[in-house]
Amino acid sequence: MHLRAAAIVVAVRQHGEHGAIVRALTRNDGVQPGYVRGGRSRAMRPVLLQANVIQGEWRARTGEQLASLTAELIHSRAQMHGEPLAAGALEWATALTAAALPEAQPYPQIHDALDGVLGAIEAAPSARGWAAALVRYELLMLAELGFGLDLDRCVASGTADDLGFVSPKSGAAVSRGAAFGYEAKLLRLPTFLMVGGEADWPDIFDGLRLTGHFLARDILVDRRADPLAARDRLVDRLKRAVA
């Protein structure tokens, strides 16, 4: 096995005294794990940060063996790790990707969307500039893994107009008319998830509640549930920042 590709670092775990096991998302070959000799060294730690883009070269004698990985830095996002909101967003987006995606299966749309979200976090002067993009990324992750929400028309009446809620059971949209009297049992559907554009903070938090419900129920379950703690920390930081 020999692979050379640009990749986004999504997880780093110390292995032994000096090494690290790194998981990185390539565009055409999915998440690729590898062992980096000296990965905990002073020279390599700034390279192997979550959200950094590396040029990776994976080598293994067999497909079942953990590959040896050498990594060169293409683009660093180290400066964002010192900003609490940006750091929380990087931690969550990469942790979600690492936990949710199976290894060695290509998800080019997810790769491109993750790169876009990380770029938005890097470029935006405030969290409002990237928070909506993060919600859209979570929605894409659900869809790509087979748990997409049906937001085209009302599950009760069939209308495509005045959609305002989502059933927490079926993941299907519900119009405001059909939801009358049951609003407390449904999840709010923010407008920006249907028509795009900018979003205000109430809509962003509604979007986070919506995607968070289905991520926890359908993808981040059992041993993969640990990354949800990073999401909780991020949401708490966002609420404090806009309070």
2-76: which CATH topology?
A: OB fold (Dihydrolipoamide Acetyltransferase, E2P) (2.40.50)
At 23 the three-state DSSP class reads strand
80-151+189-242: which CATH topology?
A: de novo design (two linked rop proteins) (1.20.1440)
Kindly tell me if the per-residue pLDDT of 63 is higher than 80. no
Kindly tell me if the per-residue pLDDT of 132 is higher than 90. yes
pLDDT per position as a tens digit, 210-234:
999 999 999 998 877 789 999 999 9
Taking alpha carbons only, the member of 8, 234, 132 closest to residue 140 is: 132
Q: How far is CA 204 from CA 80, 81, 190, 200, in A?
A: 21, 23, 7, 6
Q: What is the DSSP letter of 63?
A: T
The model's pTM: 0.94
Q: Provide mean pLDDT across the span 171-187.
A: 97
Kindly tell me if the per-residue pLDDT of 124 is higher than 90. no
At 83 the three-state DSSP class reads coil
Classify residue 64 by burial, with Cβ atoms within 10 Å: 0-12, 13-18, 19+.
Answer: exposed
Hey, what amino acid is at 121? Answer: I
CB-based contact 22:9 (threshold 8 Å): yes
Q: Provide mean pLDDT across the span 142-160.
A: 96
CB-based contact 93:227 (threshold 8 Å): no
pLDDT score at 17 = 83
Kindly tell me if the per-residue pLDDT of 72 is higher than 80. yes
Kindly tell me if the per-residue pLDDT of 239 is higher than 90. yes
Rounded CA-CA distance 63/224 in Å is 24
CB-based contact 8:25 (threshold 8 Å): yes
Kind of pairing between the strands at 68-75 and 53-59: antiparallel
Q: Provide mean pLDDT across the span 18-39.
A: 96
Domain boundaries defined on the chain: 2-76, 80-151+189-242
pLDDT score at 212 = 97
Rounded CA-CA distance 128/132 in Å is 7
pLDDT score at 107 = 98
pLDDT per position as a tens digit, 190-205:
999 998 888 999 999 9
